Structure 1
Amino acid sequence: MMIKDIKNYLKSVVDCPNWYVGRIDGKKDQCIGVYPARSQPKPVPIAIGGVENTTYNKLGVEILIHWGDAPTDAEEKAQAVYNALYGQNPEIGGKRVIKIDLNTSCPVYAGVDENGIYEFVLGAVIYYER
């Protein structure tokens, strides 16, 4: 599973005019960026019998919701992204998701950028079948 797969899944369930991987275009008033987490989870222990017997892997991601000049609209969009992950077990990038561990109980307010656009952040670890 790759970061672009997470973006493509979210794009299929959350309405947003501009999606990015690894960065955003800060000139856009409404966009969502998906990034590899700065602190990735520990590697999955290799099962007895080797890698071929190890059934799952995990990927840490961070999601930036950069959404307009109204704080309530930004929070609503961030909550929509949160809800698209919380308690879900979708197929992402051809892999069955076992579990999604969100880092917080709600989207985290990150402030406003230099153009007055409100931003929220989510972090998650996605466990998926190999």
Structure 2
Amino acid sequence: MLTINDIRGYIAGLGIAADDNVYIGKMDNKKQKSIGVYSRPTSGMPNIALGGVDCTTYDIKPVSLLVHWNKSKSESEVEAYKLFEKLRSVTSLSIGDTHINYLRLMVPEPQDVGTDDSGVYEYVIWLDFIYQRK
């Protein structure tokens, strides 16, 4: 199983934001230069192979990343694109002891979602982690 905390650790390890500025769940205190890692809701039927769960070799973890940067639109955009490019250029990945078969970016570029109540620019990146079941 791949958890949201596992993914948080991976995103923190990319070096875009400091480890203690990469959050799961709720971004407390909304620190600038932070990234939020959230499970993304989905709908539809579960992915189960013929033969049942025991024959199903992979699963999907849908994730939303919120890049909450600073009050400069251009700096915030640059950091969001840095994260996007790092994700887009992954050629091999394991998180902990879970092999990631594929990172599927669900948006063509970081999505500008404007500013929060404090005027900090935010961008969202949606992606799916398709991983090997154990």
- TM-score strictly above 0.5: yes
Q: How has the CA–CA distance of structure 1 residues 62 and 102 changed in structure 2, closer, same or farther, with 3 Å as cutoff?
A: same
1:95 matched to 2:93? The reply is no
| Alignment partner of 1:84 out of 81, 86, 89 | 86
Number of residue pairs aligned between Structure 1 and Structure 2: 129
| Alignment partner of 1:30 out of 29, 33, 47 | 33
Provide TM-score, normalisation by structure 2: 0.87
Partner Cα distance (1:90, 1:59) in 2:
14
Partner Cα distance (1:55, 1:44) in 2:
10
SS of 1:120's equivalent in the other structure is strand
Q: How has the CA–CA distance of structure 1 residues 103 and 8 changed in structure 2, closer, same or farther, with 3 Å as cutoff?
A: same
| Alignment partner of 2:61 out of 51, 59, 62 | 59
Letter in 1 for 2:59: N
Provide TM-score, normalisation by structure 1: 0.89
Please give the residue correspondences for 1:1-130 in structure 2 after superposition, counting only pairs within 5 Å.
1-17=2-18, 18-39=21-42, 42-48=45-51, 50-88=52-90, 89-130=92-133
Percent identical among aligned pairs is: 30
SS of 2:11's equivalent in the other structure is helix
SS of 2:8's equivalent in the other structure is helix
Partner Cα distance (2:36, 2:109) in 1:
17
Partner Cα distance (2:63, 2:108) in 1:
16
Segments of 5+ residues of structure 1 without an aligned counterpart are none
Higher mean alpha-carbon deviation, 7-16 vs 117-126, is at: 7-16
Letter in 2 for 1:75: E
Letter in 2 for 1:114: D
